[in-house]
Chain A
Amino acid sequence: MQFFKVIQDAPTADCEPVEGTHPLYILYTSGTTAAPKGIVRDTGGTAVALTWSMHHMFDIQKKDKYFSTSDIGWVVGHSFIVYGPLLQGATTVLFEGKPVGTPNPGIIWSIVEKYKIKGIYTAPTALRVLRKEDPNGDWFKKYDLSSLKHVAMAGERLDIPTYNWISSQLPKCLINDTYWQTESGLIICCNYLQLHTFKPKAGSCTKPVPGFNVKVMGENNKLIAEPYKLGKLVVKLPTPPSFMLTLWGHDEAFRDKYLKEFPGYYAAGDAGYFDEDGFLYVMSRIDDIINTAGHRLSTSAMEEALLTHPDIVDAAVVPANDEIKGEIPVAFVVLKTGKSFDQKLLEKALVDVIRKEIGAVASLKTVMIVSKLPKTRSGKILRAVLRKMINGVDYTVSPTIEDLSVIPEIEKIARLHGFTKPGKPITAKL
């Protein structure tokens, strides 16, 4: 009976005018060790930047249908499920499901057909999962995808093999790898449907968004002008509208974390380089660079090389401490569903791939074949967990981990590969 009891009919409320810099929202980014970081977003800048983005980047106008597969708990959800499409008077899709398993790998394409979706926003990890389950693109062929004009993605860099796969499945769509962060609000670097569509280059997130003066910082705080030289990505102040105002209640921590390292610049925390045409390549978080016998190598470049092997659908490379070389790379790979393999042969093939693509300096020796990589729900590989585990350091597992059961499995495999004293997860004390 209590379900049917009417307590009170809610009154409606009118809009409250707020200043341009009034906080629209706080969005916490997952910090596993430190206190939560609450990124504060402005109202006016966000309204302007998102309106600009929906038009220039994605060509989403009034009554167009837009589908972001993200979750409202992430910045992509804030910008591209809720505020972006609605600012334009477009239609947005709220998707309570997964790319595969609810009930099949055709669910996204069935929604595209059903509502004549014009643009999709997703994550490289979702595409890799789809590629694993649907390598030949059979599910794409079941639906009419003629309304679809572009597929954009963020979360991590879109690796070249996955880029090639999705491009061949959707030859008429612009595959738009976008680079940004919760902090940046506006996309930092991408391709543009309305402004000017550059011919995409696999592995690049195309060109910086107007308002972002992106530079590459080298040793001794000197800017790198020459192309192809890897360095830390920075953004010259002032930053464009929608950029984070501060960390909620911690102005000083905000300055220390983002503005102190390079005075006059925002430190993005990622490593990357420009090519001669001004296309940006974001390689990895700064901590994903490893030092093997004095060579600074990007683990994501190695991961990408591994992904060129036809049987590999997912890969993570982390450094293991080495007495002689300082650090040596160790690879964790996931095979295509249903592939049988000979451990020795596959290992050799992958070591050869790395030799060929990166060079012998990478000296990859260990390849572990696992059924799944530890990932956050937003698709980021928890490389720190893998790194600490094989180096015998205890670690905290991010609360956003997608599937906790992968940890013991990987630990077992690591032991078999000679990492006899793996680090243990630190159980959170409540």
Chain B
Amino acid sequence: MKIIFNFLSRHLAFYFYSIVCNTLLTVYIFRSSQIKLIKINKKTHIKVKSMSNPYEIQYQQALDPNTREAFWSKHAEKVDWYRKPTQILTEAPPNNSLWFKDGLLNMCYNCIDRHLVDCGSSLALIYESPVTKRSKVYTYTELYYHVSKFAGLMKSYGVGKGDRVILYMPMIPEAVFAMLACARLGAIHSVVFGGFAAKELSGRIKDAEPKLIVSASCGLELTKIIDYKGMLDEALVLSGYSDKLKVILVQRPMKIATNIVAGRDFEYHKVTSQIFYLFNY
């Protein structure tokens, strides 16, 4: 309760502040982009008819070198920034199209935290699993709780901004928690499709050099149980990264992994004190 109260009071102020800022800036940018658009109409004689539908207007704005930055800058107002970007487009290597280079933001904040004020009790995530005949729902507040805890856990294993985390996961809520937790820390996640063979996984481990791997004991394919932990162990040996990283393992009741390597593998339910995890899914 206390956490939520602190949280709300902290963010409420920011929320109102951002409403005021957003409104002012939107008005400003909208006006300036409109002015530019009118100028271009005069210059290039774009047919009035084709400009009549909103798609054509947006397409032209995003296309024209004189308006495209104002266009994306306007739409960037829908995102919450710690520092608003001033360099909208930087045409520099490697891809000649770097956007919002000097802006500061956090994806997880934008996906969860900012919604807590007005959507805290509405649903964020619905887990529907006909293969296990389970379903479960999470509100934004619950999602916030799980993700910020997961992020805290990752942090305690030394994961920070720019570090890679490989997720080798079935379609369970922890997979989403882990993705968002990485975003929260500024860590870079790389989701490897669950069920990829050990050799494929090892190639990705070697390329991404992760500090942490988040995985589960097994995945389910119709009637088959796929031994993720077995394949992960094999991939770790193949890649030579076996002792260079940590593993967070979600145990699923259909197949509890027993090959836990002490000091490297950490079972998620243990490190988050979930006693009744076997009833999860």
Contact = CB atoms under 8 A, between A and B. Distances in A.
A112 to B, nearest CB: 11
A36 interface: yes
A20 B95 contact: no
B125 interface: yes
Interface in A220-255: 237-246, 248-249, 251, 254-255
Contacts of B275: 3-4, 6
Interface string B115-146: 10011001111111111100000001000010
A249 B207 contact: yes
A300 B194 CA distance: 29
B99 A241 contact: yes
Nearest to B166: A26
B103 interface: yes
A417 interface: no
Given A15-B109, A96-B130, A196 B55 contact: yes
Contacts of A23: 162, 188
Interface in A76-99: 77-78, 81-83, 86-87, 89, 91-98
B13 interface: no
A46 B179 CA distance: 15
Given A83-B107, A238-B89, A12 B97 contact: no
A111 to B, nearest CB: 6
A101 B194 CA distance: 19
Nearest to B221: A98
A245 B124 CA distance: 29
B186 interface: yes
Contact of A24 (B107, B169, B273): B107
Contact of A19 (B102, B126, B170, B180): B102
Given A12-B152, A19-B104, A21-B99, A72 B273 contact: no
Contacts of B99: 20-21, 42, 44-45, 48, 240-242
Contacts of A46: 107
B12 interface: no
A72 B152 contact: no
Given A10-B152, A13-B185, A20-B99, A94 B270 contact: no
B127 A18 contact: no
B123 A91 contact: yes
Nearest to B238: A430
A95 B173 CA distance: 10
Contact of B128 (A19, A20, A21, A95): A95
Contact of A28 (B93, B140, B192, B277): B192
Interface in A30-47: 30, 35-36, 38, 42-47
A73 interface: yes
A7 interface: yes
A12 B197 CA distance: 33
B61 A210 contact: yes
Given A21-B100, A44-B85, A11 B128 contact: no
Contact of B196 (A3, A19, A249, A399): A399
B212 interface: no
B191 A72 contact: yes
Contact of A44 (B54, B105, B188, B271): B105
Contacts of A155: none
B204 A17 contact: no
A239 B272 CA distance: 42
A209 B75 CA distance: 14
A94 B164 contact: no
Given A48-B75, A254-B95, A20 B100 contact: yes
B269 interface: yes
B172 A96 contact: yes
Contact of A251 (B55, B89, B94, B184): B94
A26 to B, nearest CB: 4
Nearest to B181: A13
Interface of A: 3-28, 30, 35-36, 38, 42-48, 51-52, 55-56, 62-63, 65, 71-74, 77-78, 81-83, 86-87, 89, 91-98, 101-103, 107, 111, 115, 192, 195-196, 198, 207-208, 210-211, 213, 237-246, 248-249, 251, 254-255, 259, 377, 399-400, 428, 430
Q: List the 7 shortest-distance A-B pairs measured between CB atoms, nearest first.
A: A73-B193, A20-B100, A44-B100, A210-B62, A238-B97, A13-B151, A196-B55
